[in-house]
Amino acid sequence: MKRFTRVTIKMLCLSIIGATSSLSMAQTKENEKLIPFGDFNSWMVRIIDESFVIGGNTKTLYEIAPVDTIIGDKPYISSTVSPWRTSNVMAKVSGITKCSISVFPEKRDDGYCVRVETLMEKCKVLGIVNITVLVPGTIYLGQMHEPIKDTKNPQSKLNAGIPFTETPKAVVFDYKMETPGTDHRIKATGFSKIVDVPGRDSAEVYIILQKRWEDEKGNVYAKRIGTAIERLSENTPDWKNDHRLNVLYGDPTNQPGSKSYMQLIPKEQSLYCINSKGKSVPVEEIGWGDTNDKPTHLFLRVSSSYGEAYIGTVGNKLWVDNVRLAY
């Protein structure tokens, strides 16, 4: 029987955490377009058996995609028709299969919505490894490079964003939120002991429009065309329908509604994409767009916690439904 070292199994358990054509959008109201599958009424189910050495549990992973059931540890990059991907992910390290689940469908009226939740992912093998990692639930527009094989550079596991050339005025959605409301967060990386981090956690709705281009070496750069980011930190037990988040075009610094966290993405935290050579590369934001620039890509992310990986508040839950763009 193959022997699994403490390092191998620890890499597997952490790997699942490190990993998140133009659209034809359905018309809803006169000046709004539903992002495809953004009503969250259609879900694909993946049934995966984890490896015996870490317990052999059967896990159910959910994806926002046409209704289907996939049985077995088959990698899932994205749907061919749905632009969404979730933080539900399968990792394989040295032949060991492990899953992480932090995004769930939930009934709402006659249909469904999505729930993203911050929770602790545990991986325990008697006498080998016992780790706990904090996992925020996230949905986003883009792809995931499955299976996850290592813990290096979580952003590089994503193909972030979709081709998009429109200039919406706002993002509109329904939401409700549940949070413990503590004034501190938890940092649990699996590498060291769990520690408190000052400051209240927030769920985050994050939308950016970028104008991307590639140089002859395959490097990808971008100007930021539009920005719409909101952090939600208060209990909202009843659904807040038709919540509107305006898109700020150009440099938002001196615009009404601007926040400090709307600045350009630091180089070391860049989103990643697949370049024309088929390689995963960072998308380096180098400046703000002007009135002559038009977007080439849209990236939208909804997460139960914000900021640095492995930091958040267990129990943060955000429900979202009917995500659309207003014009």
pLDDT at 294 (0 to 100): 97
In a domain, 66, yes or no: yes
Across residues 193-209, what is the average pLDDT? 95
Q: pLDDT tens for residues 228-263? A: 999 999 999 999 999 999 999 999 999 999 999 999
pLDDT at 2 (0 to 100): 45
In a domain, 117, yes or no: yes
In a domain, 304, yes or no: yes
Give the lowest-confidence range in 20-34, 144-158, 192-206: 20-34
pLDDT at 126 (0 to 100): 57
The total number of structural domains in the chain stands at: 1
Q: Given pLDDT bands bounded at 50, 70 and 90, which one contains residue 1?
A: very low
In terms of residue numbers, what domain contains 123?
A: 6-20+24-326
β-strands 280-288, 220-232 pairing: parallel
In a domain, 128, yes or no: yes
- Residue 27 has φ and ψ, to the nearest 5°, of -75, 130
Q: Given pLDDT bands bounded at 50, 70 and 90, which one contains residue 20?
A: very low
Whole-angstrom distance, CA of residue 278 vs CA of residue 299: 20
pLDDT at 30 (0 to 100): 60
pLDDT at 23 (0 to 100): 47
pLDDT at 122 (0 to 100): 81
In a domain, 300, yes or no: yes
In a domain, 59, yes or no: yes
Across residues 39-53, what is the average pLDDT? 96
Whole-angstrom distance, CA of residue 122 vs CA of residue 132: 5
pTM of the model: 0.90
In a domain, 1, yes or no: no
Mean pLDDT of the chain: 90
State the burial class of residue 273 (Cβ atoms within 10 Å of its Cβ: 0-12, 13-18, 19+).
buried
Q: Peptide bond before 147: cis, by omega within 30 degrees of 0?
A: yes
In a domain, 191, yes or no: yes
